[in-house]
Structures are given as C-alpha cells and as structure tokens.
Structure 1
Amino acid sequence: MNATSIRPVAIKIDEDTRARIKRLAAARQRSSHWLMLEAIRQYVEREEKREAFRQDGMRAWNEYQATGLHVTLEEADAWLAQLEAGKDVEPPECHI
C-alpha cells in the first residue's frame, strides 16, 4: 500500500470501547490505530471469504435448478469415507 492510497477515516466509538482498545494496544505494545486497522483488515478479509462462499453456494444452487445434476447424501458420504480412509478416489458422478 503506498502513501497516496491511504486516506484518514474518522469513526465514533463509545468511551468503554475506546478504553478497551487502549488497554489491548498497550498489552500488545502496539498503537490503538494499529489495533483498529488490524481488526478492520481481519473483519473485511473474513467477510469477503464468507461472501465468496455464499456466492459459490448460490451458483451451485442455480446450476442444480437449471440442470438437476446432483449426488445423493449416501453417495457423497461414501466418497468422503473413502477419502478419510486414505484412498485417492474420484468423486461420484453427478446424475439427474
């Protein structure tokens, strides 16, 4: 990240939260700013992954609705059991 892409942002937090952040920052030997920035980065990364997972699920659901292709719970369970047993097996074929 270069200096020209960094912009200050103000947020309003209650005094209790501010004091908690200061205590944690002191315990970690970091600044309050660093701690808040790290928290925001981690939150955004986690939420991006969650959204990508949700989008993958929606795509899979839409594909299933369009094609009807699927595997049964029993087929998936048997395949996963083989993988768990250390066997290198292909996933079951999708069918209607």
Structure 2
Amino acid sequence: MATSIKIDEEMKSRVRQLADNRRRSPHWIMREAIAQYVKREEQRDVFKQEALDAWSSYKETGLHITGSETSDWLRAWGSDDNEIPKCHE
C-alpha cells in the first residue's frame, strides 16, 4: 500500500538530518517512527481496556486490595515471603 505523507520543510530537514546521523534513509526513519507510534498507541489501548475491565469487575464483585496491602506486597518483592494479597470486600 503506497501512502504519501505531507510534512513541512522544517520537519523534512529534521528527518534528513536524523537520517544522515543514523546512516539511514529518511524513509527508514519515518517508517520506524510510525511503527513505534502505532505500537505505543496499541499498548495504551490495551492498558486502558484492562483498567476498564478491572473497574467493571470491582463494580460487580466489590473485591479489591487496599493501597497499603499493595505497598506491603511490593516492598516484599524479592523475599521468600511474597504472597499476592487476597482480594476482599
């Protein structure tokens, strides 16, 4: 799929300079930038959906762990006594 992107002269110059510095083509720089952007936005969508799912689950069940329980659990990481806190109402 051939696609064209219109960018202003300043951005073209910046892309060319970066491409020269990296010994890559401007085309490679733009493709890499788009790929990284798309990946980041997809991950953001997944994170948002997981948060919405967790909120829905909490509203349905009332099950949760407190902030202090979470902090205690995180402080215990790397120790032998590091059980995940049990959810409760």
- Relative to the length of structure 2, the TM-score reads 0.93
What's the offset of the Cα at 1:41?
0.4
Give every structure 1 segment of 4 or more consecutive aligned residues whose post-TM-superposition deviation is greater than 6 Å.
none
Stretches of structure 1 lacking an aligned partner (at least 5 in a row)? 1-6
Output the CA distance in 2 between the equivalents of 1:87 and 1:76: 17
Output the CA distance in 1 between the equivalents of 2:75 and 2:34: 39
* Identity in percent: 47
Q: Name the structure 1 match of 2:82.
A: 89
Output the CA distance in 2 between the equivalents of 1:56 and 1:26: 41
Q: Name the structure 1 match of 2:50.
A: 56
Stretches of structure 2 lacking an aligned partner (at least 5 in a row)? none
Output the CA distance in 1 between the equivalents of 2:16 and 2:54: 45
Output the CA distance in 1 between the equivalents of 2:82 and 2:43: 28
**Residue in structure 2 matching 1:31, options 14, 25, 34:** 25
| Counterpart residue identity of residue 40, structure 1 | I
Q: Give the number of equivalent residue pairs.
A: 89
Matched position secondary structure for 1:71: coil
* Superposed CA RMSD: 1.2
Output the CA distance in 2 between the equivalents of 1:19 and 1:33: 13
**Residue in structure 1 matching 2:72, options 49, 53, 78:** 78
Output the CA distance in 1 between the equivalents of 2:20 and 2:70: 50
- Relative to the length of structure 1, the TM-score reads 0.86
What's the offset of the Cα at 1:87?
2.9
Output the CA distance in 2 between the equivalents of 1:27 and 1:77: 44
- Change beyond 3 A, Cα 1:88–1:43: farther
Matched position secondary structure for 1:10: coil
**Residue in structure 1 matching 2:6, options 12, 17, 35:** 12
